[in-house]
Amino acid sequence: MVSDSYLWWRHGVFYQIYPRSFMDSNGDGVGDLQGIIDRLDYLVELGVDAIWISPIFASPMADFGYDVSDYKGIHPMFGDMATFDRLLSEAHRRGLRIVLDYVPNHSSAEHPWFIESRSSRDNPKREWYIWKDGKSDGGPPNNWESIFGGQAWEWDATTRQYYLHLFLPEQPDLNWRNPQVVQAMHEVLRFWLDKGVDGFRMDAVMLCMKHPDFPDNPPVQDQSAWKRIGLTLEPVYTVNRPEIHPMLRAFRQLLDQYDGDRVMIGETWLFELDELVEYYGGELDEFHIPFNFLGTVQPWESGALQAAISAYYNALPTGAAPNFVFGNHDVHRMATRFGAEHHRSAGMLLLTLKGTPTLYYADELGMQDVDIPPARCVDPWGLNAPDLNIGRDPQRTPMQWDRSPNAGFSPAGIDTWLPVAADYGKVNVAVQRNDPESTLQFYKALLKLRRELPALHRGSFAFVDQTTPGVMAYLREADGRRLLIIINFESKEQQVDYSLLGKTGKLLLSTRFVSPTEVSMSALTLRPCESLLIQLMAHVK
C-alpha cells in the first residue's frame, strides 16, 4: 500500500526520456511520441512515477531540440499534437505524470520571432532578442563566451549589429527584460498547463538575465566548474544574476494557479550550495526541485560523497525538498562514471537517499556510454570541443529493448541516428526481464520497496558513524520502521559490525540478490562492491 502522504514530485521517482533515443515507432531511426506510448507499460512495470521528456517541439535540431522554432508545436519527427494528447492521457490513465522541457533562455534562429527580429532594426520584434552595436573597431560588444565555445556574439550583416547567443549561433538569446517576451513565454507555459501537463523542467534558466550594462566577464577562476567545460571567462555577468529570482517567482505563481500539484524543476548547475538553495526561493516560492547535480561530478568515493551529501542536506532551507541527479543527457552515464561494478550500489544510493531521484533512461539496465566513431559524432558541443571529453553522443544512444537487430529500438536495416551499443545482445530489457538476478530486476525490486516503505520515500535520514573505510551506512526511518543501508565502495570483501543498532535485522535487498533473510548485525559480510538494505527489528531503540 502506498501511504496517503505520497506527494508525487516530492516522494516519487522521475525518469528522464531523451525522446530521440527511447523508441522509434515509425522506422526512421529516431525515437518518437508513439514509441513512448508503446512503452508506457514498461515504465509502469519498472515502477517510476513521472517522466520528464527532453524537447519534442518544432526545431531545426541544431542542438537536438534545445533550439525551439515553435514552442506550441510538436516536431513532425516526433509525431503531432493528437499523438501528444494521446501520450498525456495514456500516461495519466496509468498514473504516470508527464513533465515537459521548457527552453526559455533562447529560441531557434528559425523561430518566426527571430526571423522578424533580424529583418530590420525597426521591426516590432527587434527588442525580443539582444542586439548590440559592435565596438568602434568593429569587434563584438564585449568578451562574453558561448558555453559551446567561441564568442557569444554573431554579426548580422543585414542589420549591421551583433546578436547574443550563449549557446550556438543557431540559438539566439531571448530578451527577458522585454515584457512582451515575458508575456509570450508565459503563454507557452499556460498552453501546456491547460492541456494538463504536470510540470516543466526549465532549461538553462540561470542564464536568462544578463547584467544590464553588459560588462566584460573576468578570467575564469582556477577551481571553477566552468573551467572544466572549457570556458576561459567566469560568467559572472551572464549566469546566476539576482534578477532571475523575480522571474522564477512569476513562473511559479503562474503554475500555482493550476490545480493538481504541477511541478517546477530547474536546471541549476551550481556547486556552491548557498547559491543553489536560493533557487527554492526565500519563501519556497521558486523551484520545487532545483536540480542537485553533485552526484554528476563526485567520484565514487565514500568519504567525499558522504561529505557532499551532508553539506547538501545541511544547506537546505526548512521545508525544501531535497533531490539527486546522477546522470542525464548532458553528462556521462552513471554506470560509466562510477564503474560497472558499482552501478547497482549507485542505484541503491540514488534511490534510498532522502529526496526525489531522477533516473536517466536505461540506467535501470546498467547501460554504459557508447564509444562513437568520429564519423558518427553529431553533438555540436562535442564537435566544437573535441579535446574536452564533453561530447554528449555517448550517453544518448538508442534504448536497448531486445536482442533483435537495432536492439528493438528501430526495425532491422534502419540507420539509427546514433549507433546502437555493441553489447545490446546482453544488455537489454527482454533479456534482463527474464533473468531474476539482472540489473533491471534489481531496480524493479528497489523501486517497489521505495514506493511501499514510507521510511524510504519520506522517512528521516541520518548517517551512521563509520569506522570501516570505504563503507557508507545510513538510517531511514518513518512510522517506527527503521531501515539501514550499507554500501561497500571497495572491490574487496569487508566485515562490518552494526550490533549497536540491534542484534538481528531482516535483509530486504542486496545488489547481489539473496532472498530476504535474517542477518546478525554484529557480523555482516559485504561482498566486493555490494550494498545491503536491512530492516532493523522494531523493538530496537
Catalytic residue positions, numbered: 203, 267
Contacts of ligand NOJ in 91-150 (CB under 6 A): 103
Least CB distance from residue 202 to ligand NOJ, whole Å? 10
Amino acid identity, position 147: I
DSSP-derived letter for residue 531 is E
The total of other beta-carbon atoms located within 10 Å of residue 317's CB is: 12
Residue closer to ligand NOJ (CB basis): 63 or 363:
63
| Binding flag, residue 66, ligand NOJ (CB under 6 A) | yes
| Binding flag, residue 203, ligand NOJ (CB under 6 A) | yes
Residue closer to ligand NOJ (CB basis): 24 or 330:
330
Look at strands 460-463 and 356-360 and give their pairing: unpaired
Comparing C-alpha atoms, which of 405, 402, 398 is closest to residue 420? 398
Q: 140: which 3 cell numbers?
A: 563584438
The pair phi, psi for residue 476, each rounded to 5°, is -125, 135
Contact, 74 vs 80, CB < 8 A? yes
The Cα 201–Cα 506 span in angstroms is 39
- With b for 16 or more beta-carbon neighbours within 10 A and e for fewer, the 138-154 pattern comes to eebbbbbbbbbbebbbb
Residues in contact with ligand NOJ, counted by CB under 6 A, come to a total of 9
Residue closer to ligand NOJ (CB basis): 326 or 401:
326
Residue closer to ligand NOJ (CB basis): 262 or 329:
329
Give 422's Cβ-side CA count (13 Å radius). 4
Binder to ligand NOJ among 167, 324, 409, 442 (CB under 6 A)? 167
Least CB distance from residue 354 to ligand NOJ, whole Å? 25
Contact, 101 vs 54, CB < 8 A? yes
Amino acid identity, position 164: L
Binder to ligand NOJ among 50, 174, 188, 204 (CB under 6 A)? 204
Provide the phi-psi class of 475: left if phi over 0, else alpha when psi is between -120 and 50, else beta.
Answer: beta
Q: Could you tell me the strand order of the sheet in which 131-132 lies?
A: 131-132, 161-164, 153-156
DSSP-derived letter for residue 291 is -
Least CB distance from residue 261 to ligand NOJ, whole Å? 24
Sign of CA dihedral 252, 254, 255, 260: positive
Residue closer to ligand NOJ (CB basis): 77 or 529:
77
Q: 509: which 3 cell numbers?
A: 535487498
Binder to ligand NOJ among 32, 63, 154, 278 (CB under 6 A)? 63
Residue closer to ligand NOJ (CB basis): 205 or 456:
205
- With b for 16 or more beta-carbon neighbours within 10 A and e for fewer, the 114-123 pattern comes to beebbeeeee
| Binding flag, residue 57, ligand NOJ (CB under 6 A) | no
Least CB distance from residue 330 to ligand NOJ, whole Å? 5
Contacts of ligand NOJ in 329-388 (CB under 6 A): 329-330
* 19: Cβ contacts below 8 Å, ≥ 6 apart: 31, 32, 33, 36, 53, 54, 55, 56, 65, 78
Least CB distance from residue 251 to ligand NOJ, whole Å? 17
Comparing C-alpha atoms, which of 291, 315, 200, 181 is closest to residue 247? 181
Contacts of ligand NOJ in 275-304 (CB under 6 A): none
| Binding flag, residue 205, ligand NOJ (CB under 6 A) | no
Residue nearest to ligand NOJ (CB): 66
Least CB distance from residue 394 to ligand NOJ, whole Å? 14
Least CB distance from residue 229 to ligand NOJ, whole Å? 11
Cell numbers 539527486 label which residue?
Answer: 324
The Cα 293–Cα 355 span in angstroms is 13
Least CB distance from residue 485 to ligand NOJ, whole Å? 30
Sign of CA dihedral 176, 315, 331, 450: negative
Residue closer to ligand NOJ (CB basis): 171 or 345:
171
Residue closer to ligand NOJ (CB basis): 167 or 424:
167
Q: Under the rule (CB under 6 A), what is the footprint of ligand NOJ?
A: 63, 66, 103, 167, 203-204, 267, 329-330
